[in-house]
Amino acid sequence: MTDLWSFLLQTLTAAGAAAFLLVLKSLFRDKLSPRWQFGIWGLLALVLLYPAGRGGRYVLFNWPLWLETLKTALTRDYDLIRVTAPIPLPAPLSGPQTPLDVLYFLYVAGVVVLLAWYALAYLRLRLALRRGSPADDAQLRRVAAQYELPVCRVVEVEGLPTAFVCGVFRPVLALPAGQPVDDKVLLHELLHLKYHDAAWGLLICLFRCLHWCNPLLWYCADRAGNDAEALCDQRVLERLEGEDRRDYGRILLSMASDKYARAVGTSSMANGGRNVRARIEAIARFKRYPAGMALASVSVALVLLFPLTLGWGQTLAKANGLGHSGELEFHTAMASARLTPCTTAAGAFDAYGKAVIHDNGIYRALCAPLSEHPALAAQMEGFAHGPDPWVHEHWESGLPGRADHTVGYFLYNLTQADGGYAAVMVWPLQMAYVDGPDAPPVYWSEEDRAYAAWQSLWAERQGDRWVVLPQGEFHLTETEGDGLVWGDDALPSAAIYAADVDGLRLELTYQTVHSVSYTFGEKPKVNARFDAAGESFDFTGSETHPGAADLVNRYAAAPVYADGSGPALEFGSGQGSSSDGTFWGNVRDYGGLLASGGSGFGDDPNDPPVWPDHYRMVLTYVDGREEQMVELRPMEGGKRA
């Protein structure tokens, strides 16, 4: 916790879990054993120790979203609330800068003061015990031997109302000086010693200090201490019989003292007069729980373990049609975008593609670096309150036209490098600004021409989220328009492979196409995976010397990868291609031209894409000369911008 917001997120998350456990404990008060009643507080301890809001997740109540919304509305701060540790960390050396910083400083000061107060109280108690005199431990050893319990050092101290165990690493049993102590009292304290209840009390005290200004957690700390004593009573009663059990209740009633009842680092049979009545009632209805109840208790705890510790993942809040006056809804949607990170590169690309399609700035915020959120929010608010207002989430991406919502987008030439992904995103257009934004738009249905816009993108991981960074402006291209899923010569190629041989210029353009499943009107899929990956190529052979193509009889080619692997190079009948990337042709049957093309789908689209290192080709001739082996190598690094 580094500021007031992170503290509020941590303490409110814990308070929600605490309220749920209090209700649950009330429902099962007489049905599950004291062991369960005390042990279930361990779930609250896990919630207190686990940094709240990690990965945008929330427990029971969506505190991360509500606090993010409130923070942005009050301060216009678009930084994400992060709980890096469940304890307060030092404030910046520059000191408090805002009233909220002052409040956080006061909270930290309260933690320090309370910890110091408890530490001093414990030291004073240890000093008082040092002034005590060693006690005869014969009775203690007899009780310990009878019930097979450990023993510790024993001292007698003047003025003590009851016995108690003090200390965790070097425990001491303190007894009232000059007063007889019943065996059942010693049994109670030895059970505290065996189960390290003083250490549990120390942990409860630490949580009490860290959340000193949360009254619900303070109350839960008291309840946990009382449950520890009730559990110790249960353990005592399980070892006693008949009249000894009733006598144990009378002894407990005589010790209804508040002195040392809440001393840190101690475990005392007397935990305050107000709590003794409840313990007496529990003793009156004491029963041995059957063995099957232990399984039921563990099952209930396991069912609650993951929801109460890990919680639920965020989903994107409503981000369509926020309206011209939806200030709170807008801040909520932006907060939701910060808390819903894109967990995969495909998810980030999907968010960006749909942000452009829908002109939706909330979708863009999903995949934008957090540092860009203030400018993005300002742009959206400017549209919402301008002279010609749009709805709040409107975002001007710069797309030179209107995307075709029924088709979506495609990713061309995806490649993985340096921990990120580079790709060209392509949007088929319903309408395009062919001659500029001020000229009349061109609709494909009117002009019988198909247009697409494309943009180079880079996706990288920043912290726990994938973001998309545009690498240039949009480009407008006229396409064949008959299925961009199979590639298109008008769009950028991943690589161009070429060679010159016997008066021929051999050139092959290579593209890959990845897609994410898309349905009209769907929100971005922040954890999406690529659902299809294809590759396409277009091969042509042009003459650098007239008549060179007429001398070629047949040709065949196959891709070769960096490790030397690749499909076998074989001639097929006529002209054709295979899904493994091989292709072949018979020049004499096709007008004396060298030309071929093909496409196919890869295996797992989420594996890192592998482009051919080069192509090997064989040419046979009509004049009887030996067949020619040629390697088509990438041109200028193999990429067309």
pLDDT-derived band at 408, boundaries 50, 70, 90: confident
pLDDT tens string 584-614: 988 766 666 788 888 776 667 777 778 889 9
Q: For residue 639, is pLDDT > 60?
A: no
Task: Tell me how far apart the alpha carbons of residues 153 and 509 are, in angstroms, rounded to a whole number.
Answer: 86
pLDDT the model gives residue 250: 78
**What average pLDDT score do residues 12-38 get?**
86
Query: What pLDDT, in 10s, does the model give residues 186-213?
Result: 888 899 999 998 888 889 999 999 999 9
* pTM confidence score: 0.80
Closest CA to 457 of 465, 446, 449, 466: 466
Q: Give 183-188 contacts, CB < 8 A, sequence gap 24+.
A: 183/139, 183/143, 184/236, 184/240, 184/244, 184/247, 184/248, 184/251, 185/251, 185/255, 185/269, 186/139, 186/140, 186/143, 187/143, 187/147, 187/149, 187/236, 187/239, 188/232, 188/233, 188/236, 188/269
Give Cα 29 distance to the centre of its chain: 36
For the stretch 226-239, pLDDT in tens is 888 888 888 888 88
Q: Which pLDDT score, from 0 to 100, does residue 352 have?
A: 95
Instruction: Supply the pLDDT for residue 481.
Output: 66
Q: What is the pLDDT of residue 641?
A: 40
Please give the Cα distance from 346 to 508 (Å, whole number).
28
Comparing 640 with 120, the larger pLDDT belongs to 120
Confidence of residue 391 (pLDDT cuts 50, 70, 90): confident
pLDDT at 263: 66
For 455-470, the three-class secondary structure string (H helix, E strand, C coil) is EEEEEEEECCEEEEEE
| Confidence at residue 237, expressed as pLDDT on a 0 to 100 scale | 84
Query: Which of 32-46, 203-217, 530-544, 562-576 is modeled with the greatest confidence?
Result: 203-217
Distance CA 38, CA 233 (A): 12
Question: Which residue, among 357, 539, 349, has the nearest Cα to 452 in the 3D structure?
Answer: 357
In 3D, which of 4, 214, 12, 212 has the Cα closest to residue 91? 4
| Confidence (pLDDT) at 631 | 94
Residue 116 pLDDT class (50, 70, 90 cuts) = very high
What is the identity of the amino acid at 63? Answer: W
Average pLDDT score over the chain: 83
Question: Domains in the chain and their CATH numbers?
Answer: 4-304 (no CATH), 337-369+380-479 (3.10.450), 493-638 (2.60.40)
Q: Dihedrals φ, ψ of 467, to 5°?
A: -125, 160
Average pLDDT (566-580) is 84
Residue 290 has pLDDT above 60, yes or no: no
Candidate from 210-214, 278-282, 505-509 with smallest mean pLDDT = 278-282
- % of the chain exceeding 70 in pLDDT: 86
Average of pLDDT values for 368-384?
A: 87
SS3 category, 377: helix
What is the reported pLDDT for 262?
A: 59
Q: What is the mean pLDDT of residues 569-585?
A: 84
Q: pLDDT grade, residue 445 (50/70/90)?
A: low
Say whether pLDDT at 267 is over 90.
Answer: no
Sheet of 153-157, strands arranged across? 133-134, 153-157, 172-176, 164-166, 266-268
Q: Could you report the per-residue pLDDT of 125-150, keeping only the tens digit for each? A: 888 888 888 888 888 899 889 889 99
Q: How far apart are CA 98 and CA 161, in angstroms?
A: 50
d(CA 190, CA 148): 10
The secondary structure of 380-401, three-state, reads: HHHHHCCCCCCCCCECCCCCCE
Query: Between 28 and 363, where is the model more confident?
Result: 363
- Please give the backbone phi and psi of residue 205, each rounded to the nearest 5 degrees, phi first: -65, -40
Lowest-pLDDT range of 30-34, 55-59, 527-531 = 30-34
Please compute the mean of the pLDDT values over residues 81-106 and round it to a whole number: 79
Note the pLDDT tens digit of each residue in 245-259.
778 777 777 765 555
pLDDT bucket at 447, cuts 50 / 70 / 90: low
pLDDT at 277: 65
Among 146-160, 238-252, 462-476, name the most confident range: 462-476
Highest average pLDDT, of 57-61, 365-369, 632-636, comes from 365-369
Task: Give the residue, 562 or 392, on which the prediction is more confident.
Answer: 562
- How many whole angstroms separate alpha carbon 639 and alpha carbon 493? 7
**Angstrom distance (rounded) from CA 189 to CA 270:** 11
pLDDT of residue 257: 56
Predicted local confidence at residue 640, as pLDDT = 47
Residue identified by tokens 């998350």 is 13
